[in-house]
């Protein structure tokens, strides 16, 4: 029996998408779906939910929950990672509230920025523990990482974990539908080329029947910006830098130094930026979980439709050798020639029985590469901090972050980092 292991299986909604998709894929019938989570109740919830789905779909997959992570991984052919270290309380609260005392505001704080740095620092040791187990009990497994911060964690697993890892994000699939629906353009038959880094990949080409659609997109974007809407930052970045970005406006508002500024509070209103957005989502999700739990866990008639998540399509391609194209996060190795080779990049990849084969992109437009590098700087220094255990590299990562450095002095950045290290306590390794 071939095994797919899901780490963080207590993420019940996401487990339904990825493993529900798997259960509905003919080529994957008979697989063991191995579930592991440190939250035993949430693990049991997901097990019950998937068994309900197994009955309603008639799937021949076998659902099995594990108390022991290494046993869950043993013999796995594929591993899906969807963990969050530290959760909303206390770690997400800490990531937002301490910077706020210094006047540094955030929206999502899970990728770069000060919140992204500290989410990385508490997650990397856990990921390297996963890698140690994988090397021991399933060394040939493909590791599909869905956990943010995507670029750094995928980089660490490839560079220091010794595990075949590809990072997967929803933003590539959602890019064209979101842009075209927002601007009222028909998206059927559109061809696109996307590359860059996670959450800041670029819609480099967008055509239909050989016609470049960018002139019409930009014409409509100018008009759209005259009204309040939920994607104002991305449209503004496209109009100023020439290309649309894959990830949402609330994310990109904090990736750049242009939008969230204490001395220009009118920008928050002008670009409709939702400060403290992620904590609000967490609170709402926690409040909704009681009802959602009933709908997912206790519904004996639960059904599922295959989602847009890449995972099951990748498993299917590797099992059947019928190629499938994804937007994957992989090590650069010269794929994007004007970004650092040691960076993790997001590029089109071909998946088949031989694994994940990234495609060569070449140079990005120079302004796009320059913006990517501002975020890569922080990513690479964060990795340096995690691997060496040197506190000075945490300071370096934070001082190089575009939004943080635009708002705070170097002394305040260092003081803020020290406060965050102390507040995280046992969630962080000791830094010297």
Please identify which residue in the block is written with the tokens 């490839």: 158
Omega before residue 350 within 30° of 0, cis? no
* Dihedral over Cα of 16, 21, 22, 25: its sign: positive
C-alpha dihedral (303, 12, 119, 420), degrees to nearest 10 = 130
CB half-sphere exposure, 347, CA atoms < 13 A:
23
- Which among 170, 178, 251, 403 is annotated as catalytic? 170
197 close to 343: Cβ distance less than 8 angstroms: yes
Find all residues with CB under 8 Å of 410, minimum gap 6, and list them.
Answer: 399
Three-state DSSP at 305 gives: coil
Omega before residue 149 within 30° of 0, cis? yes
400 close to 378: Cβ distance less than 8 angstroms: yes
52 marked as binding residue: no
Q: Can you tell me the distance from the alpha carbon of 246 to that of 234, in angstroms, rounded to the nearest whole number?
A: 9
Residue 329 — φ and ψ, nearest 5°?
A: -95, 120
Pairing of strands 344-352, 324-331: antiparallel
175 marked as binding residue: no
Three-state DSSP at 144 gives: strand
Q: Can you tell me the distance from the alpha carbon of 35 to that of 68, in angstroms, rounded to the nearest whole number?
A: 10
- Answer yes or no: 170 catalytic: yes
Determine how many CB atoms are found less than 10 A away from the CB of residue 387: 14
Residue 314 structure tokens:
């990748």
Binding residue positions for Mn(2+)? 169, 199
- What are the catalytic residues? 170
Binding residue positions? 148, 169, 199
Binding residue positions for substrate? 148
């Amino acid at each position: 029996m071939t095994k797919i292991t899901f780490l963080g299986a207590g993420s019940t909604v996401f487990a339904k998408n990825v493993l529900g998709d798997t259960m509905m894929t003919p080529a994957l019938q008979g697989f063991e779906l191995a579930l592991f989570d440190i939250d035993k109740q949430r693990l049991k919830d997901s097990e019950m939910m998937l068994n309900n789905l197994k009955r309603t779909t008639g799937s021949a997959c076998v659902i099995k929950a594990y108390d022991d992570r290494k046993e869950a991984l043993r013999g796995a052919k594929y591993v899906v990672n969807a963990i969050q270290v530290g959760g909303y309380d206390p770690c997400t609260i800490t990531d937002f509230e301490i910077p706020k005392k210094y006047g540094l505001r955030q929206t999502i704080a899970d990728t770069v920025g000060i919140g992204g740095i500290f989410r990385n620092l508490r997650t990397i040791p856990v990921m390297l523990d996963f890698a140690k187990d994988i090397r021991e009990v399933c060394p040939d497994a493909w590791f599909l990482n869905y956990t943010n911060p995507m670029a750094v964690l995928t980089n660490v697993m490839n560079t220091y974990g010794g595990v075949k890892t590809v990072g997967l994000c929803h933003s590539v699939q959602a890019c064209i539908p979101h842009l075209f629906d927002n601007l009222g353009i028909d998206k059927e038959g559109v061809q696109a080329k996307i590359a860059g880094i996670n959450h800041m990949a670029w819609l480099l080409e967008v055509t239909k029947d050989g016609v470049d659609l960018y002139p019409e997109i930009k014409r409509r974007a100018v008009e759209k910006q005259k009204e309040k809407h939920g994607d104002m930052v991305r449209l503004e970045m496209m109009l100023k830098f020439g290309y649309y970005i894959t990830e949402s406006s609330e994310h990109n508002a904090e990736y750049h130094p242009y939008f969230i500024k204490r001395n220009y509070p009118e920008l928050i209103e002008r670009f409709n930026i939702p400060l403290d957005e992620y904590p609000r989502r967490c609170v709402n999700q926690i409040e909704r979980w009681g009802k959602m739990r009933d709908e997912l866990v206790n519904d004996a008639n639960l059904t599922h439709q295959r989602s847009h998540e890449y995972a099951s399509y990748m498993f299917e391609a590797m099992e059947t050798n019928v190629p499938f194209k994804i937007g994957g996060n992989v090590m650069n190795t010269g794929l994007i020639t004007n970004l650092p080779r040691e960076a993790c990049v997001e590029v089109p990849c071909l998946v088949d029985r031989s694994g994940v084969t990234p495609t060569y992109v070449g140079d990005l437009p120079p302004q796009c590469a320059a913006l990517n590098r501002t975020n890569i700087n922080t990513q690479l220094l964060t990795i340096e901090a995690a691997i060496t255990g040197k506190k000075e590299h945490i300071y370096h990562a934070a001082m190089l972050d575009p939004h943080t450095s635009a708002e705070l002095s170097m002394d305040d950045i260092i003081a803020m980092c020290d406060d965050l290290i102390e507040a995280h306590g046992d969630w962080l390794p000791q830094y010297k």
